[in-house]
Amino acid sequence: MWRGLAIAALCAQQLVAQTPHSAIDWLSESLLQPPNFVISPPGRTGNLLATSNILAMPLEMISRDAAGLLPPEVTGFPRAIWGRTLTEVAEQQLRLVKHSNVPEVMALYKQVLLAQSDPPLDAGPMGTLLLTRIDLLVAMGALDEAETLILLAGISEPEIFRRWFETTLIGQRTNAPCKALSVQPSLSDDIATRVICLARAGDWNAAAITVSLAESLGQIAVDDADLLVRFLDPEMFADLPDAGNPDPLDPITFTLRESLALPRPETPLPLPYLNADLGLRTPARQRIVAAERLVRASAIPPGLLFSIYRGSRAASSGGAWGRAEHVQELDTALVSEDGQRLAEAISTTMIAFSDAGLLYAFAFEYADTLAHFPPDEDTGQIAPRIRRLLLIADRPMAQWATLGRADPPRVQFATRLASRAPVQGVSPYSHALPEAIHLAFANLTPTQREIPELMAKIDTGHFAEVLLHALSLLADGRDAAPQALHEGLFLLRKLGLEDSARRVAIQLLLIEPEPA
């Protein structure tokens, strides 16, 4: 009762300021009688036949599952990466790969998600596998890639529009999807989506009526209606009780609560929502923490994190602020012509980033500079550390190759792998990790029972299926069983991904806490 009166008051308040739009009648009718509509197949060039309002297209041309950002020339994958793998199996295989602290494993996984490829044999026009790929990109926080994939596929039906709207909503960039919805209302019958778009277009009266009608028709939950009402007029409805954060937290609820400055969940935010903290209006430490989590998840490039470090003024010491200070000090030391200062800055920064699980990001950011930086007596003393950074980032050793003390055995092994030197004979290593890597590069076939079946799948073109199996074995990194590491690296090499296999092996050997 009270909410209906309150919404009526809100509508009256809006009517004073504006004449009712014709859209209000349409909104009322559309809520009561959702329109029937026909979705055209996604637009592609080819033999199209347009007759009156009918668009015909050959069946083999209309699957969205072929959409991708990365062509085979970039990925090195064959175009028919799925072979005869069916869609359901492909989806299962994609979900088998969990997050990994090995950057090259995540890079290969993202390449599968973003690859242009022939769709599975049973792919239909709706692009079921495409939707799974988009969902997995969103789950890991890679919203920019997810949105680009959505736009490449074309937005002409509700399921893909929903993903587009939610992805842009987190980043406060809903102008394009809201405009598309106003042109083609059949793209979404979600009440909250309509209300948000109406409000952002300035039609607050229609937005309030939409909430009221939806609740009266039982099309929206009470808590959702309360949140939308509060969103439409935060001051009038500030005394509404807070229903709290749902579990799981959906993008619309998260964004509405953020706009009202309501409390976040006590547990860490899921990765997609951290993108909302990357904006310039977010407090600096909050931006750093969000960017660090997204970099660890391989969702954003390290360069974005370091630009935030450089643009932040530390308000305290230690933790995220300490890493920002280390970066700023290292940047200053690089132009100081003081070798001792530079050597100390590299060492302390390397330790700090290694302890935070960000050593790869640090290596990637500074490797090009250090590879061409002229060493002196002081920096030459830390040459082993610089060589380690160059190996992790896959950069040439150049002038640092022979300086300083000898490298530890693992760095020496990584150097051999980087130079593509052959690995032969019995492993000289007593530790399980380097021994497993040695076995893989010595071409010794793993003893697991599934190996003959996997080799047959390689021969019959099930490229992605075998690759994803290999990545699932390697995802645990240094915590994986030696047999799993041997098998995973062996399979990467058999798939023709020699360089990737070597990068994975080098990162396994060298990405670990740096000794003080």
pLDDT tens by residue, 183-206: 999 999 999 999 999 999 999 999
Per-residue pLDDT, 243: 87
CA distance 2 to 514: 62
CA distance 468 to 457: 12
CA distance 253 to 166: 10
CA distance 516 to 509: 18
pLDDT digits (tens, 9 = 90+) for 317-351: 889 999 999 999 999 999 998 999 999 999 999 99
Q: Read off the amino acid at residue 265.
A: P
Q: How far apart are the first and last CA of the chain?
A: 66
Nearest to 309, CA basis, from 250, 261, 369, 352: 352
Per-residue pLDDT, 343: 96
Per-residue pLDDT, 239: 82
pLDDT digits (tens, 9 = 90+) for 274-285: 999 999 889 999
Residue 500 has pLDDT above 50, yes or no: yes
- Tell which wins on pLDDT, 279 or 504: 504
Q: Which of 33-37, 84-88, 441-445 bottoms out in mean pLDDT, i.e. has the lowest?
A: 33-37
Residue 272 has pLDDT above 60, yes or no: yes
Number of H helices, E strands in the chain: 27, 2
Q: How confident is the model at residue 494 (pLDDT cuts 50, 70, 90)?
A: very high
Tokens of 235: 């001051």
Tokens of 54: 């009918």
Per-residue pLDDT, 49: 29
Average pLDDT, the chain: 87
Mean pLDDT across the stretch 466-477? 97
- Tell which wins on pLDDT, 34 or 143: 143
Per-residue pLDDT, 61: 53
């790969």: which residue's tokens? 97
Residue 115 has pLDDT above 70, yes or no: yes
Residue 356 has pLDDT above 80, yes or no: yes
